[in-house]
Structure 1
């Protein structure tokens, strides 16, 4: 697969990943964190804000292609 196509597909996947994770995290927060203290909100959004990084790293690694020797 050409590098440009791989990077285009990866960019679209990362955008979908970020938007999807934000939507899911906010939906769960609205449903469950209504009565939680401020530190509960802080902890929840800090963790969910970092969770999307792991799949994004895999997508970026795929976008880079095979290792050059």
Structure 2
């Protein structure tokens, strides 16, 4: 697959990842941290803010891999 196509697909995947992750993290925070202190909220959003980086790194690494070259045929 050409790198340009990978980057296009990866861009859409990253956008969907960020939107879905933000909604999920906020929903969890509202559901479970409603009565918690500000420090608990700060810690939760600090760690959940960094957690999305792991799948994003996988997508970016996939986007940057060069296409596999086809082996040349010897006559």
Instruction: Bin the TM-score by the shorter chain.
Output: over 0.9
Q: How does 1:1-69 map to 2 (within 5 A)?
A: 1-66=1-66
TM-score, normalization: structure 2? 0.85
**CA distance in 2: counterparts of 1:58 and 1:26, whole angstroms:** 23
Structure 2 residues not aligned, in runs of 5+ = 68-75
Structure 1 residues not aligned, in runs of 5+ = none
Give me the CA root mean square deviation: 1.2
Q: Which has the higher helix share?
A: 1
TM-score, normalization: structure 1? 0.92
Which of structures 1 and 2 has the bigger CA Rg?
A: 2
